Amino acid sequence: DAKTTQPPSMDCAEGRAANLPCNHSTISGNEYVYWYRQIHSQGPQYIIHGLKNNETNEMASLIITEDRKSSTLIQPHATLRDTAVYYCIVRSGSEKLVFGKGTKLTVNP
């Protein structure tokens, strides 16, 4: 599975959009981009995933660049409960999810 690079931390004001970047420059054609988050002391929570096209669900939007070498997770109206560590993961066929260090997002009032 391709390696990902994320900033270690970000801050966001409550009610504003949180845009979390992820670099995956070595991604191959059959690898999906996944986003999970982990709120303190809880299990990881699936957010969204995509292959080539931008995706949106009730939790967030995923923007993948045309060359697929990077992506951005967008949480349009961040709340205090969105404070968590966000993990960007690239998956091929392996059942092993490789969680890196992620981005610690702090939503401030």
Please name which of 36, 40, 28 lies closest in space to residue 3, comparing C-alpha atoms. 28
CA distance 71 to 21: 6
Q: Provide the token pair at 81.
A: 């409960």
Residue selected from 8, 29, 40, 42 as contacting another protein according to rule CB under 8 A: 42
95 binds another protein (CB under 8 A): yes
- Of 23 and 38, which CB lies nearer to another protein in the complex structure? 38
31 binds another protein (CB under 8 A): yes
Q: Provide the token pair at 89.
A: 């993961």
- Of 67 and 96, which CB lies nearer to another protein in the complex structure? 96
Among positive and negative, which fits the CA dihedral 85, 59, 33, 97?
A: positive
109 binds another protein (CB under 8 A): no
User: For binding to another protein (CB under 8 A), which residues are involved?
Assistant: 30-32, 34, 36, 41-46, 49, 91-93, 95-101
